[in-house]
Chain A
Amino acid sequence: MNLAQRVSIVLIVGAASLAFAGSAAKPPERISPSPTISGNELNEQWMIEGEQRFRTNCGRCHQPPRKLSPREMAIAVRQMRVRAMLTEDDMKYILYYVTH
């Protein structure tokens, strides 16, 4: 392994370590809605959870897409259900988030 590669690996791993140190500070809260909350609160929680799942799953590979209509988003999310192996719940939350 030559010098350039050693330096590159050190830089990449170093950056990853710094990132890990930063990310470990505060893990995101998971939403566990109570069955008694109102419709508006539930919508808000679905949006928060949807955004989180969008960033977690879609953001791993690509930047957020430009604004598309709900029907266009629906086919894109269905494709990603298969290609990106989203879980069924991931698909529902993400679809809700990107179409509202």
Chain B
Amino acid sequence: MRKRGLIIIWVCLTASLVCGAQQSFVPTPPVTEDARPVPVLSGGVAFIPTWDAGQPTLVSIVSPIVLVPLGSNFILESRGAFEGDFQRRNGDSGDFTGAVNKSLDYLQLDYIGNRYVAVTAGRFLTPFNIFNERLYPNWIRNTQTDPLIFPIGTGSDNGVMLRGGIALNQRVTLNYATYFSALSTASHLESERHAGMRAGVFLPRERLEIGASIQHQLQDERLNRYGFHMQWQPIRIPFDLRSEGTYSRVEGNGFWIEGAFRFRNANATPLRHTQVVLRTQVFHTGSAVGVNPDLPDSDTKRTEFGVNYYLNDGWKALASYGRTFTAAGDSNIWTVGMTYRFVLPLGPRQ
């Protein structure tokens, strides 16, 4: 017992020394008085007409975000979404019509506890892989259509979450998110009862992140979902490489990989605003087709090529072409449109 106590004291002392050494190595910049946070209304607007297998859909999205700082360690953040997928009244003729779907993506209170952990409570985006949390907004994503595997393990949760990013040293940063969600069938606040975790390793010098996710459903089939993600942005070349894979025995499995190159070093100004994107993906159905209605009902492969043009002040123009391959037949998918990101202060700017 005494030996175990000595070991614990030694481990604590060593950890304290390591942490102390890290904290005193670099004097970090001060936070000045004029950088006191102010509430803001932010978000994105997108208009993306899409032709999938010849069927036109006018995808229109308004996605407002409200950020409210509370004290020095809290933040209240919320995002809603109003999406209208307008299609022709008679299939391939007539005017465009359809309902506007409203959803509350998140409404969460974050508490930044210390340098290792932040606590989140409320409704939050499920941290399964990275697309849902980081890449979902239209003004961020390089390819506008959702990945085929996206419906597996993602969406919104109602519960609590612990998360954080920890610099082990100047070369390695760990990040993690662990969460529990309760079942909810309330309209616009739906969530599944499950628990899960995502962990990643980020190498700042290489700008490479690799991570994995696991989620255990605590209802219905009580199934497990597994995911992995990779994100790499080379230092000297304006190239983004992103990839995700997901496995669920019941729902299905698949992956996507996307490369995007921005002509940042081109001589011509218009070319410097241009980005070309190539994404390919695969989805295989699981043991129970239809258990997740948002997934394709047969094995599907899709390859897409797109061009994004970044205008000033948050505007982005885009166009893409893709080919979908299924056992039922192949089809084309076209998109063209614009996205816009806005930020409006809800208090004094200065």
Asked if A42 contacts B27 (CB within 8 A), the reply is yes
Interfacial chain B residues near A28, Cβ < 8 Å:
205, 235
Q: Check: B102 CB closer than 8 A to any chain A CB.
A: no
Please judge, given known A-B contacts A23-B236, A87-B166, whether A74 and B36 are in contact too, CB under 8 Å. Answer: yes
Interfacial chain A residues near B282, Cβ < 8 Å:
1, 5
The stretch of B54-62, B147-155, B218-226, B254-262 that contacts the partner chain: B254-262
Scoring B37, B177, B241 by chain A CB atoms within 10 A of each residue's CB, the highest score goes to B37
A94 nearest CB neighbor, chain B only: B29
B72 nearest CB neighbor, chain A only: A78
A74 to B343, CA, bound (A): 13
Contact mask for chain A residues 6-39; partner B; CB cutoff 8 A; 1 contact, 0 none: 0011011001101110110111101111010000
Enumerate B23-56 residues with CB–CB distance to A below 8 Å: 25-32, 34-40, 42
Asked if A33 contacts B26 (CB within 8 A), the reply is yes
Choose from B112, B205, B207, B301 the contact partner of A5 (Cβ within 8 Å): B301
Interfacial chain B residues near A83, Cβ < 8 Å:
133-134
Q: Check: B291 CB closer than 8 A to any chain A CB.
A: no
Interface size for A (C-beta < 8 A) is 63
Asked if B26 contacts A31 (CB within 8 A), the reply is yes
Please judge, given known A-B contacts A4-B323, A73-B35, whether A19 and B234 are in contact too, CB under 8 Å. Answer: yes
Q: Check: B290 CB closer than 8 A to any chain A CB.
A: no
A86 to B115, CA, bound (A): 10
A11 to B258, CA, bound (A): 10
A30 nearest CB neighbor, chain B only: B170
Asked if B67 contacts A33 (CB within 8 A), the reply is no
Interfacial chain B residues near A40, Cβ < 8 Å:
none
Asked if B234 contacts A23 (CB within 8 A), the reply is yes
Please judge, given known A-B contacts A1-B282, A19-B234, A99-B35, whether A61 and B140 are in contact too, CB under 8 Å. Answer: yes
Interfacial chain A residues near B232, Cβ < 8 Å:
16
The stretch of B80-88, B189-197, B308-316 that contacts the partner chain: B308-316
Asked if B34 contacts A70 (CB within 8 A), the reply is yes
Interfacial chain A residues near B166, Cβ < 8 Å:
87
Name the distance in Å between A72's Cβ and chain B's nearest Cβ.
Answer: 6
Interfacial chain B residues near A69, Cβ < 8 Å:
38, 345, 349-350
Asked if B278 contacts A8 (CB within 8 A), the reply is yes
Asked if B26 contacts A82 (CB within 8 A), the reply is no
Interface size for B (C-beta < 8 A) is 78
Contact mask for chain A residues 63-84; partner B; CB cutoff 8 A; 1 contact, 0 none: 1011011111111101101111
A92 nearest CB neighbor, chain B only: B28
A27 to B208, CA, bound (A): 13
Please judge, given known A-B contacts A26-B236, A35-B27, whether A15 and B259 are in contact too, CB under 8 Å. Answer: yes
A20 nearest CB neighbor, chain B only: B234
Interfacial chain A residues near B240, Cβ < 8 Å:
60
A52 nearest CB neighbor, chain B only: B204
Asked if A84 contacts B134 (CB within 8 A), the reply is yes
Asked if A33 contacts B28 (CB within 8 A), the reply is no
Interfacial chain B residues near A8, Cβ < 8 Å:
278-280, 303
Interfacial chain B residues near A22, Cβ < 8 Å:
234, 236-237
A14 nearest CB neighbor, chain B only: B259
Choose from A20, A23, A63, A87 the contact partner of B173 (Cβ within 8 Å): A87
Q: Check: B167 CB closer than 8 A to any chain A CB.
A: yes
Q: Check: B317 CB closer than 8 A to any chain A CB.
A: no
Name the distance in Å between B141's Cβ and chain A's nearest Cβ.
Answer: 9
Asked if A46 contacts B29 (CB within 8 A), the reply is yes
| Contacts from B to A (Cβ < 8 Å) | 25-32, 34-40, 42, 67, 69, 75, 77, 110, 112, 115, 118, 120, 133-135, 139-140, 163-167, 170, 173, 175-177, 204-207, 209, 231-237, 239-241, 257-259, 261, 278-280, 282, 301, 303, 310, 312-314, 323, 325, 341, 343, 345, 347-350
Q: Provide a sorted-by-A list of 8 A–B residue pairs whose CB atoms are within 8 angstroms.
A: A4-B325, A28-B205, A30-B170, A62-B140, A71-B37, A75-B39, A79-B75, A85-B176
Return the 4 tightest CB-CB contacts between A and B, nearest first: A23-B234, A85-B165, A96-B29, A75-B37
